[in-house]
């Protein structure tokens, strides 16, 4: 390439080229932005009310279930396999519910469209079941398909506040939130309030679940969580915040307080009853204790979402696990409070220690002071959640 012309024309060409380049870059950017906004306009729409399940003949075909991890007895002789053998239905069992809000976030775009991502059943805690129902994401159940539920559901769970007639939810397992302690390291802890004792500074874990931890802390102030006001929630959150800042609370956990308890990094935690039974197998010094002010009672519920393929099979599954034999098999592995009547009698013959356990078969006196999971109204939800997350995230 010969160099024709002098420096000025070359500079001129350079500037021209630069301008051209910049103009092209700008055009490209605008084009991309336009494309993006254009596509955004045709986003999602729809939604709709839940409707009721329509049963069609004998249950058959495929069934996809979403549940929490380690919430069923696994393996070749597990309940899923037994169900498949008994009914011929092909089950895909996924353990992808790790957190109610997270699961909601994942499912919401689909449910909004009336889709369920292939799932026919999933298991969510009371408050999330209510939330989904209120948004029209769940179908009402056809009671004809689940006679065992009608027959065997324990009386204490028949008429919960959020679903008085059990129209859209069937309990999977129930549980209690209280304190779990290392009896060899912190034997005197008997209530949630004891967790604020500076003696245990840096050795206490709280649950990150808003609706478990804060109501329990409320009881320390004498508040009844079932009647709590927004101010009560905020006050308890403030108290917890103080404990974080002073280093009292080691960390907020999900189920992973188990690690801290086993290693002794934590001596007392807010925790769930089912985990304690499992932990005891590893370390007999670990014990779940009913807080003196009472515990929190919750259930994880099976629900059928809108757009569920094969709801007939879904109800067949619900019906199956409400047989006392099947429920006993699950309860033996999971160690939470079974919602099915008749399991205790089976255990009295096969697993007598489990039959005695207050954690799996709590008596009415045991849970006298306990409260069902507190609900947040729509207006309260945003500010309380925000305040709570501000504490969790430091």
CB closer to other proteins, 7 vs 281: 281
* Beta carbon of residue 87, minimum distance to other proteins (angstroms, whole number): 19
Half-sphere exposure of 40 (CA within 13 A, CB side): 6
C-alpha to C-alpha distances, 58 to 87, 223, 314, 321, nearest whole angstrom:
9, 50, 12, 17
The answer to whether the CB of 114 falls within 8 A of the CB of 47 is yes
Element (H, E) at 288: strand 286-289
Cα-based angle 297, 302, 304 (whole degrees, multiple of 5): 145
The interface with other proteins within residues 26-45 (CB under 8 A) comprises 32-33, 35-37, 39-40, 43-44
Count of chain residues binding other proteins (CB under 8 A): 69
The Cα–Cα gap between 381 and 367 comes to 27
**Going residue by residue from 192 to 231, which x/- string records binding to other proteins, judged by CB under 8 A?**
----------x-----------------------------
* Beta carbon of residue 58, minimum distance to other proteins (angstroms, whole number): 27
CB closer to other proteins, 231 vs 378: 378
Based on the shown chain and the rule CB under 8 A, indicate whether residue 244 belongs to the binding site for other proteins: yes
Burial class (CB in 10 A: 0-12, 13-18, 19+), 22: exposed
**Going residue by residue from 40 to 79, which x/- string records binding to other proteins, judged by CB under 8 A?**
x--xx---------------------x-xxx---xx----
The Cα–Cα gap between 249 and 192 comes to 12
CB closer to other proteins, 165 vs 382: 382
Based on the shown chain and the rule CB under 8 A, indicate whether residue 251 belongs to the binding site for other proteins: yes
Half-sphere exposure of 131 (CA within 13 A, CB side): 18
The answer to whether the CB of 132 falls within 8 A of the CB of 140 is no
Residue 294 in tokens: 């009472």
Name which position in 250, 289, 329, 344 contacts other proteins (CB under 8 A): 250
Phi, psi dihedrals of residue 164, rounded to the nearest 5°: -55, -30
SS3 180: strand
The interface with other proteins within residues 272-311 (CB under 8 A) comprises 278-283
The answer to whether the CB of 322 falls within 8 A of the CB of 153 is yes
The Cα–Cα gap between 279 and 288 comes to 10
CB closer to other proteins, 235 vs 255: 255
SS3 127: helix
The interface with other proteins within residues 105-144 (CB under 8 A) comprises 105-110, 112-113, 115, 117, 119, 135
* Beta carbon of residue 10, minimum distance to other proteins (angstroms, whole number): 18
Based on the shown chain and the rule CB under 8 A, indicate whether residue 393 belongs to the binding site for other proteins: yes
How many residues are listed for the chain in this entry? Answer: 394
CA dihedral of 164, 72, 345, 286, whole degrees rounded to 10:
-100
Q: Could you tell me what percentage of the chain is helix, strand and coil, using 3-state DSSP and rounding each to the nearest 5?
A: 45, 15, 40
Based on the shown chain and the rule CB under 8 A, indicate whether residue 263 belongs to the binding site for other proteins: yes
**Going residue by residue from 342 to 381, which x/- string records binding to other proteins, judged by CB under 8 A?**
----------------------------------------
Name which position in 11, 98, 165, 350 contacts other proteins (CB under 8 A): 98
CB closer to other proteins, 244 vs 355: 244
Based on the shown chain and the rule CB under 8 A, indicate whether residue 25 belongs to the binding site for other proteins: yes
* Beta carbon of residue 153, minimum distance to other proteins (angstroms, whole number): 26
* Beta carbon of residue 94, minimum distance to other proteins (angstroms, whole number): 7
Residues making contact with other proteins (CB under 8 A): 25, 32-33, 35-37, 39-40, 43-44, 66, 68-70, 74-75, 93-96, 98-99, 101-102, 104-110, 112-113, 115, 117, 119, 135, 202, 244-245, 247, 249-252, 254-256, 258-259, 262-265, 278-283, 382, 385-386, 389-394
């Amino acid at each position: 390439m010969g160099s024709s012309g002098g420096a000025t024309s070359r500079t001129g060409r350079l500037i021209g080229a630069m301008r051209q380049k910049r103009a092209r870059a700008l055009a490209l950017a605008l084009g991309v932005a336009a494309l993006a906004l254009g596509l955004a306009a045709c986003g999602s729409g729809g939604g709709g009310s839940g409707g009721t399940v329509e049963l069609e003949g004998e249950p058959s075909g495929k069934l996809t279930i979403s549940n929490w991890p380690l919430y069923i007895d696994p393996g070749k002789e597990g309940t899923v396999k037994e169900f498949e053998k008994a009914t011929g239905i092909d089950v895909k069992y996924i353990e992808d519910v790790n957190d109610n809000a997270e699961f909601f976030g994942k499912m919401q775009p689909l449910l909004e469209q009336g889709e369920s991502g292939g799932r026919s059943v999933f298991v969510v805690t009371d408050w999330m079941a209510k939330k989904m129902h209120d948004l029209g994401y769940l179908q009402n159940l056809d009671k004809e398909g689940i006679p065992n539920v009608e027959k065997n559901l324990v009386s204490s769970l028949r008429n919960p506040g959020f679903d008085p007639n059990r129209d859209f939810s069937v309990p999977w397992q129930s549980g209690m939130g209280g304190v779990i302690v290392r009896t060899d390291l912190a034997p005197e802890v008997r209530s949630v309030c004891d967790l604020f004792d500076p003696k245990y500074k840096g050795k206490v874990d709280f649950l990150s679940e808003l609706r478990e931890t804060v109501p329990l802390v409320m009881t320390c102030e004498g508040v009844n969580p079932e009647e709590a006001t927004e101010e009560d929630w905020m006050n308890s959150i403030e108290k917890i915040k103080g404990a974080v800042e002073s280093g009292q609370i080691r960390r907020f956990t999900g189920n992973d307080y188990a690690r801290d308890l086993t290693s002794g990094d934590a001596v007392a935690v807010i925790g769930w009853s089912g985990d304690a039974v499992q932990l005891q197998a590893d370390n007999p010094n670990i014990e779940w204790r009913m807080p003196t002010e009472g515990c929190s009672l919750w259930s994880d519920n099976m629900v059928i979402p809108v757009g569920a393929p094969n709801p007939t099979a879904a109800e067949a599954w619900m019906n199956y696990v409400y047989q006392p034999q099947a429920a006993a098999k699950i309860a033996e592995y999971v160690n939470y409070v079974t919602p099915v009547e008749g399991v205790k009698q089976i255990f009295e013959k096969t697993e007598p220690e489990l039959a005695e356990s207050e954690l799996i078969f709590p008596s009415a006196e045991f849970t006298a002071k306990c409260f069902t999971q507190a609900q947040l109204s729509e207006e309260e939800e945003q500010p309380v959640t925000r305040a709570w997350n501000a504490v969790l995230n430091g």
